[in-house]
Amino acid sequence: MVVVVKPDVPQDKIEHLVKWLEEKQIIVRTFQGQQQCVLGLIGDTNNIDSGMLRSLDIVESVGKLTEPFKAVNRKIHPDDTVIPAPDGKPLIGGGHFAMIAGPCSVESREQITLVAKKVKEAGATMLRGGAFKPRTSPYDFQGLGQEGLDLLLEAKKATGLPIVTELMDLRDIDRFEQVDVIQIGARNTQNYDLLKEIGKLPNTILLKRGLAGTINELLMSAEYIMASGNENVILCERGIRTYEFAHTRNTLDLSAVPILKKLTHLPVVVDPSHGTGRVDLVPSMSYAAAAAGADGIMVEVHNDPACALCDGPQSLTPEQFTEMAAKVFKIREAIQ
Amino acid sequence: MVVVVKPDVPQDKIEHLVKWLEEKQIIVRTFQGQQQCVLGLIGDTNNIDSGMLRSLDIVESVGKLTEPFKAVNRKIHPDDTVIPAPDGKPLIGGGHFAMIAGPCSVESREQITLVAKKVKEAGATMLRGGAFKPRTSPYDFQGLGQEGLDLLLEAKKATGLPIVTELMDLRDIDRFEQVDVIQIGARNTQNYDLLKEIGKLPNTILLKRGLAGTINELLMSAEYIMASGNENVILCERGIRTYEFAHTRNTLDLSAVPILKKLTHLPVVVDPSHGTGRVDLVPSMSYAAAAAGADGIMVEVHNDPACALCDGPQSLTPEQFTEMAAKVFKIREAIQ
Amino acid sequence: MVVVVKPDVPQDKIEHLVKWLEEKQIIVRTFQGQQQCVLGLIGDTNNIDSGMLRSLDIVESVGKLTEPFKAVNRKIHPDDTVIPAPDGKPLIGGGHFAMIAGPCSVESREQITLVAKKVKEAGATMLRGGAFKPRTSPYDFQGLGQEGLDLLLEAKKATGLPIVTELMDLRDIDRFEQVDVIQIGARNTQNYDLLKEIGKLPNTILLKRGLAGTINELLMSAEYIMASGNENVILCERGIRTYEFAHTRNTLDLSAVPILKKLTHLPVVVDPSHGTGRVDLVPSMSYAAAAAGADGIMVEVHNDPACALCDGPQSLTPEQFTEMAAKVFKIREAIQ
Amino acid sequence: MVVVVKPDVPQDKIEHLVKWLEEKQIIVRTFQGQQQCVLGLIGDTNNIDSGMLRSLDIVESVGKLTEPFKAVNRKIHPDDTVIPAPDGKPLIGGGHFAMIAGPCSVESREQITLVAKKVKEAGATMLRGGAFKPRTSPYDFQGLGQEGLDLLLEAKKATGLPIVTELMDLRDIDRFEQVDVIQIGARNTQNYDLLKEIGKLPNTILLKRGLAGTINELLMSAEYIMASGNENVILCERGIRTYEFAHTRNTLDLSAVPILKKLTHLPVVVDPSHGTGRVDLVPSMSYAAAAAGADGIMVEVHNDPACALCDGPQSLTPEQFTEMAAKVFKIREAIQ
């Protein structure tokens, strides 16, 4: 249920209503906008008389919340969520575009520091890099682990860029304390126990759409995180599995961007590197993502793509990234 | 096989080589660029000695043409194909962007003329409208038929806009003589007998990707048309069938745009109306298509979408189209 | 709308009602079962007062026909359709299992006659073979054409087996007069003009599911044929396009069998040769099809698969077919 | 690499070769069949001289192991794996068919005990039931948890049926000590950290194919489990995600059964309940699975499907299961 409160209702009256609802085992999510307060009622609302609510003098209107996703629903949070950076400035959302770049895997101090500096110069706002890697084969390189995390934190210190890196195992959570944005990969999008745990953290979460996940499943996984208390969730479109495999690893679903922007207040980024698996398609798909209204893009950049330990063929060089970033910013202006 | 001729070789020497190859049952496609001539050899080239060709003094290099698509292959036609309008000016391709707009179905003289004028004012370069409609049910409205064609031709006369309309039955070909661009719909993309017939026509062909067609199948269907002699083919991405159906009718595959542009010299347009099935997604997907490098977009515009006889919910109003077109042109500039 | 007539109502009373409905522009399909008569009302039934119909003393009940498919709907034709062979005996349906076998393409008199004899000995009830072949490339072997048809008819004469062969171009219809079962291939499942034409023929039609066609689309295409007057339609599951391509050409959707059997009275056959593209999977998928309740299977058999001009790797040898057929018949017994 | 040892080579000679290979950092998997011993060499075999191996007098042949899956590969384990029950008798594999039945969720002592007795009488060989449930919504019933496990163990004691139940969170592993078969659900198929942990357990693992997982991914996930030491893995086909959603929740991919049986020695079961999502399709798809060569089926049975807390519409009644099981056994005989 969605309860829109009349303008200029004093705070204590709202709180009184919220308390009354909570006594009825309803979870109430309060959205306080500039002019308006909206209450999202989650749980078994069958016992709540909507007519009675509607008749209250502080209530403007009462609507249904038919979607299975509640906390992430734009209906109960009409404004865009703006996620803050560690320094308090906006990191992403509400018109703040995030340019996330870096190598697939952290490989060495030289590599990650060099790439971090280069992408920062080109306009990147966050540094990505994998320390724990989900690999299809148990015999493949599984990432540098703790050492990779340490190197990322060094690169963060050197450049000031907030870092994004993937968490796979909930037993590793303590290691991620200083990681600004914890990524949940496409293979763990529906690992609900992991989602519940990261929902208790203060870190921002970047949640990837499942390998062949639906838009609704992505929203429900974000709901798991928010239901555990974490409000800072970024959604990431990264390509879906289709019958078209001759030319691309995945089919990037850019229509997911405007669809998600309608359904949820959470920011949406696009990962064209994994979304296509081909570096030559990354620039045009980045332009398209920006034109489609994404709140950010996340791309792989490597100083020496040919020698990357992982996903080399889909990584841009720093030079290619620099050129691409400039055009992305131009497109952002064009659609304003 | 691809034979690149040295610069400044006299025409008669090239013709001599072509004749020699044709005597060996090879189909030779000659591409004459500004500086360079390229010969595409199609057919059973097993009997052609590539080493001998390479040793000829007029030949610069000899390469393989491993793809199953030959005439449409950019390897034997490095420059973009520019398709001319009836007045001889460029219609589409090589940097000339096509803005194709109009109703799903032609419904009346008033409707089609009104929409034609409105979209022309907003910058449309072609008028689309269906006279013969492929409908899933035999009991549904199947289009105005000949009357619809006549009305389209009137609207063409009134506005000067070249027209695009769908042909389904090869017995109707004679009726389409004055149609500038004949559309082959997604259900007929692999109707090979139809493709062979339209391959003999002088009209331009707009070939839609199949309902769940691959990129390679689209190229092979274009090959059927070109193999019959028609060089003026426009390819159209119109969404593919995936498991994601809760929010869209199809998944628009925008990565197909840069992929096709690499593989073929033919122009590529995007149809976000059918590609998503939702009018509210058409603008952002049109921006994305332009940003991805499409040579044109094709959208449904109806003066009264709520009352359209077919596909109403995916049609823009003329006002929405006008606003959208302006942004599309801006994005075109941004990526130049 | 579905009108169930009371038992033992005299024929003239039913005809009177039918005439009255037809005057209101309703198409009435009359199903006369052993005990019961059912009328299927197709068209704009908004003007028909269902309460009035229900109150007629010859009417037992009136129901809705909400599905878009009407004539093919089991609701208005509760019994299985049994399609007769040229000799009047049952060919398929209502418990009569069809074993359709033969080469992908007719290649020579020796080949088709030899295969025909072998498969007949093993229990085949129909002979398949392609004369006109839909090929992805315009440069590939397109079938023997008229010669292929003639050879098939010879093999029919020699063995007495009814023949199944594909029609692609409606201009060829006259050539197919003596073909018992005309196949419409997966690329033409939604070639509506072709469907309308074959709907006027007396031949039985075997309609394949589209390359990536839905069950509903298959039913609607069958509806096109029946709406033109042809009642003898066999539906064919032949695999659908999915993301799983590493091991099979298509994913055979066997759940389509029981689903179709519920929705329609038309017989359903399965083509595991095209459905998997791998000869080693054909036996187990044939067993599974029979166990799932299919009315028949259609498999490729070639005397020399390694040298087949088309689809060799998915063809069984006559010996393999013989062994397989025996097991299929055993499974049929097991599920009775 | 696959090294086939000559017949009758004494054990100590084989062990000597294995030790030599292990010193070169190669993981050696030894398969000891009735007549023959096969060594599977996993790891970086670039430094192993295959010519030298071939020349050894105890070696019959040396082959490549090109597939990314090694331990699960039938090439290095030609015989079917037979997994033992707690009592040492065969549970599944090598011709031993497993009939796994039970409710989606354990709901109460009465329910699980009643269902367990009924399915045992009908021929079930294992009891399934969910205690920890992966639910799309955080607000839905998440299973009885520990209490559910306890009730399952009681039902096991009462009937003697080994039990199958899902583990989601690796922190729960200790609770599963007495669970005969631990199920890994479709959402966790690529939760590699979970796979590594269960790979250290003595319990049998039933690994479901991912929601839209490929056959190769399923094999690689099984490889993770075997690479950690657990040899008792059952693979489960449970339907894949396709564009066909109007009639079924998933498309059951039965061709996966013969494909997997060729590629791996591990037993393969089919879950038609989740694979279709419709109880009326479960019998025919169970028959088809048995006919396709599955080593077992797993179906949902509930004493009162209409009131089931979860997945009611896809559960059989005990009576329906009894009838179905009898036919499944008949089909097993027919294909022998």
Q: What is the mean pLDDT of residues D74-84?
A: 96
Kindly report the backbone phi and psi dihedral angles of residue C241, in degrees, each rounded to the nearest multiple of 5, phi listed first. Answer: -85, 125
Alpha carbons C16 and C20: distance in angstroms, whole number: 6
* pLDDT above 80: residue A76: yes
pTM of the model: 0.95
Structural contact between residues C68 and C216, judged by C-beta atoms closer than 8 angstroms: yes
Residues of B in contact with A285 (CB under 8 A): 254-255, 258, 292
Alpha carbons A270 and A289: distance in angstroms, whole number: 6
Task: Report pLDDT digits (tens) over B181-213.
Answer: 999 999 999 999 999 999 999 999 999 999 999
C261, C263, C273, C284: which to substitute to probe chain D, counting the most D Cβ within 10 Å? Answer: C284
Structural contact between residues D30 and D37, judged by C-beta atoms closer than 8 angstroms: yes
Both tokens of C132, joined, read 């006109």
Both ends of chain B: CA-CA distance in Å?
A: 33
Q: What is the side-by-side strand order in the sheet with B59-63?
A: B27-32, B37-42, B2-5, B59-63
Residues of C with CB under 8 A from a CB of D: 212, 214-216, 240, 242-244, 246-248, 251-259, 262, 275-276, 280-281, 284-285, 287-293, 327, 330-331, 333-335
Cβ–Cβ of A227/D170 closer than 8 Å? no
Residues of C in contact with D290 (CB under 8 A): 291
Amino acid B336: pLDDT: 86
Alpha carbons B179 and B165: distance in angstroms, whole number: 7
Shortest CA gap D6–chain C (Å): 29
Shortest CA gap A19–chain D (Å): 20
For helices B318-334 and B109-121, give the axis angle rounded to 10 degrees: 30
Structural contact between residues A58 and A65, judged by C-beta atoms closer than 8 angstroms: no
The mean pLDDT value of chain B amounts to: 95
Task: Report pLDDT digits (tens) over B59-113.
Answer: 999 999 999 999 999 999 999 999 999 889 999 999 999 999 999 999 999 999 9
* pLDDT above 80: residue D312: no
Cβ–Cβ of C212/D243 closer than 8 Å? yes
Structural contact between residues A112 and A104, judged by C-beta atoms closer than 8 angstroms: no
- Residue owning tokens 């999202």: A40
Lowest mean pLDDT among A226-235, B178-187, D3-12: D3-12
Distances (CA, A) of A321 to A106, A163, C179: 18, 18, 63
Amino acid C128: pLDDT: 98
Nearest Cα residue to D317 out of D98, D97, D122, D109: D122
Structural contact between residues A148 and A168, judged by C-beta atoms closer than 8 angstroms: no
Nearest Cα residue to C171 out of D217, D171, B171, A176: B171
For B193, which of C169, C211, C227 is closest by C-beta distance? C169
Structural contact between residues C161 and C213, judged by C-beta atoms closer than 8 angstroms: no
Amino acid D36: pLDDT: 86
Residues of D in contact with B245 (CB under 8 A): 243, 245
Residues of D in contact with A70 (CB under 8 A): 139
Task: Report pLDDT digits (tens) over A179-188.
Answer: 999 999 999 9
- Residue owning tokens 């190598």: A103
Q: What angle do CA A129, A130, A133 make, to 5 degrees?
A: 165
Lowest mean pLDDT among A147-151, B269-273, C314-318, D261-265: C314-318
For C187, which of B70, B190, B241 is closest by C-beta distance? B190
- Residue owning tokens 């996993």: D42
Both tokens of D261, joined, read 């049986």
For D211, which of A134, A212, A223 is closest by C-beta distance? A212
Structural contact between residues D143 and D308, judged by C-beta atoms closer than 8 angstroms: no
For residue B208, the cross-strand partners are B236
For B42, which of C134, C139, C191 is closest by C-beta distance? C139
- Residue owning tokens 């592993």: D173
Residues of B with CB under 8 A from a CB of D: 212, 241-243, 245
Distances (CA, A) of A211 to A239, B101, C299: 8, 36, 35
Q: What is the mean pLDDT of residues B308-313?
A: 75
DSSP string, A81-138: P-EEPTTSSEEEBTTB-EEEEE-SB---HHHHHHHHHHHHHTT-SEEE-BSS---SST
Amino acid D311: pLDDT: 72
Structural contact between residues D246 and D279, judged by C-beta atoms closer than 8 angstroms: no
336 residues of chain C, pLDDT tens digit each:
999 999 989 999 999 999 999 999 999 999 998 878 999 999 988 889 999 999 999 999 999 999 999 999 999 999 999 999 988 999 999 999 999 999 999 999 999 999 999 999 999 999 999 999 999 999 998 999 999 999 999 999 999 999 999 999 999 999 999 999 999 999 999 999 999 999 999 999 999 999 999 999 999 999 999 999 999 999 999 999 999 999 999 999 999 999 999 999 999 999 999 999 999 999 999 999 999 999 999 999 999 888 777 777 789 999 999 999 999 999 999 998
* pLDDT above 90: residue A114: yes
Question: Which chains lie within 8 Å of chain C at 3 or more CB pairs, if any?
Answer: A, B, D
Residues of B in contact with C224 (CB under 8 A): 138
* pLDDT above 80: residue A325: yes
Element (H, E) at C29: strand C27-32
For A168, which of D68, D139, D192 is closest by C-beta distance? D192
For B139, which of C42, C169, C192 is closest by C-beta distance? C42
The mean pLDDT value of chain D amounts to: 95
Shortest CA gap C320–chain D (Å): 15
Contacts 24+ apart (CB under 8 A), A46-53: A48/A1, A48/A21, A48/A24, A50/A1, A53/A1, A53/A3
Residues of D in contact with B243 (CB under 8 A): 212, 241-243, 245
Sign of torsion over alpha carbons D146, D152, D154, D156 = negative
Structural contact between residues B195 and B220, judged by C-beta atoms closer than 8 angstroms: no
Structural contact between residues B63 and B2, judged by C-beta atoms closer than 8 angstroms: yes
Alpha carbons C234 and C252: distance in angstroms, whole number: 18
Cβ-based neighbour number of residue A35 at 10 Å: 7
Alpha carbons D300 and C162: distance in angstroms, whole number: 44
Task: Report pLDDT digits (tens) over A243-301.
Answer: 999 999 999 999 999 999 999 999 999 999 999 999 999 999 999 999 999 999 999 99
Shortest CA gap B320–chain C (Å): 33
Shortest CA gap A242–chain C (Å): 5
pLDDT above 70 as % of chain B: 100
Pairing of strands D90-92, D268-270: unpaired
Q: What is the mean pLDDT of residues A37-55?
A: 92
Q: What angle do CA C291, C296, C298 make, to 5 degrees?
A: 115
Nearest Cα residue to B226 out of B201, B251, B190, B250: B201
Sign of torsion over alpha carbons A290, A292, A298, A300 = negative
With DSSP H G I counted as helix, E B as strand and the rest as coil, what are the percentages for chain B, rounded to 5? 40, 20, 40
